[in-house]
Amino acid sequence: MMYSIISDIHSNYTALKKVISEIDRLGVKDIINAGDIIGYGCYPNECVDLIRERKIPSVLGNHDAMAIGKMERSWFNAPARMAVERNYHELTPENREFIKKLKPAVMIDNILVVHAQPPKDYIKYLHNAEEAIPLMKNMKQKICIFGHTHVPAAIRYEAGSAKEIIMDNVKLDKSAKYMLNPGSVGQPRDGNPKASFAVFADDSFEIRRVGYNVKEIAKEMKERGYPSYFYERLEKGE
């Protein structure tokens, strides 16, 4: 069993194309997406089209949910609301319907996939291993894939305690439970502007980074009138 894991694309088609190209180069056939296909960036249709074309299993993210009215707009600041509302209006009817049908959680090979917190939350952030303890204690699955923070993470739980693992490549112990975050394709926030994704196998979880033309999408976002806050931070990875 091997999967590439992506999350938090945020309408950044420039980054998504590079990530998918790298996944193909690695020869990993199956891809899982942990939510937030749209929001922030200026290529919502292109991103949804590619997810649909590749038949990539995806869950509902908070930006996806806000766009289709499943989440209160008050949760977002004004620039984020503006970007996601504009994304939604730009989507084709087919792509709107695709977003509307996304579920907050899916099971793939006994792997639980959510956007934020298990069992099916797409809003609450998971900040550290201590917050994960009650979630992982009640989690029936050994593996949970999540996103939302835009920061790669691996949290190991066993015997009532959890710890975050310093990582690029994590060896997975079958006696423990894990929550695994691939970071963000479209807007990383760990100080590294390269698009982030992961390769997951039975016994390992490896973070991969791939550079892309940040200036290209920043220029396009600026020309289309998207909030500067979102394209200026792309170059800094924050």
Q: What is the CATH number of the domain that holds 160?
A: 3.60.21.10
Asked whether residue 77 carries a pLDDT value surpassing 80, the answer given is: yes
Number of domains in the chain: 1
Taking only the tens place, the pLDDT of each residue in 141-182 is 999 999 999 999 999 999 899 998 877 789 999 999 999 999
Longest dimension (CA), the chain: 53
Taking only the tens place, the pLDDT of each residue in 118-135 is 999 999 999 999 999 999
Rg (CA), the chain: 17
Which residue segment(s) compose the domain that 63 sits in? 2-236
DSSP code of residue 221: H
pLDDT of residue 62: 97
- Per the CB < 8 A criterion, the answer to whether 5 and 200 are in contact is yes
Asked whether residue 75 carries a pLDDT value surpassing 90, the answer given is: no
- Per the CB < 8 A criterion, the answer to whether 41 and 12 are in contact is yes
Taking only the tens place, the pLDDT of each residue in 176-199 is 999 999 999 999 999 999 999 999
* DSSP strand pairing (111-114 vs 143-145): parallel
Q: State the average pLDDT over residues 43-61.
A: 98
pLDDT of residue 202: 87
pLDDT tier at 71, thresholds 50, 70, 90? confident
Average pLDDT of the residues of the chain: 95
Q: Where are the alpha helices (DSSP H) in 68-213?
A: 78-90, 93-100, 129-138
Backbone angles phi, psi at 15, to 5 degrees: -70, -40
Distance CA 18, CA 227 (A): 24
Asked whether residue 100 carries a pLDDT value surpassing 90, the answer given is: yes
Distance CA 203, CA 171 (A): 6
Whole-structure pTM value? 0.96
pLDDT tier at 9, thresholds 50, 70, 90? very high
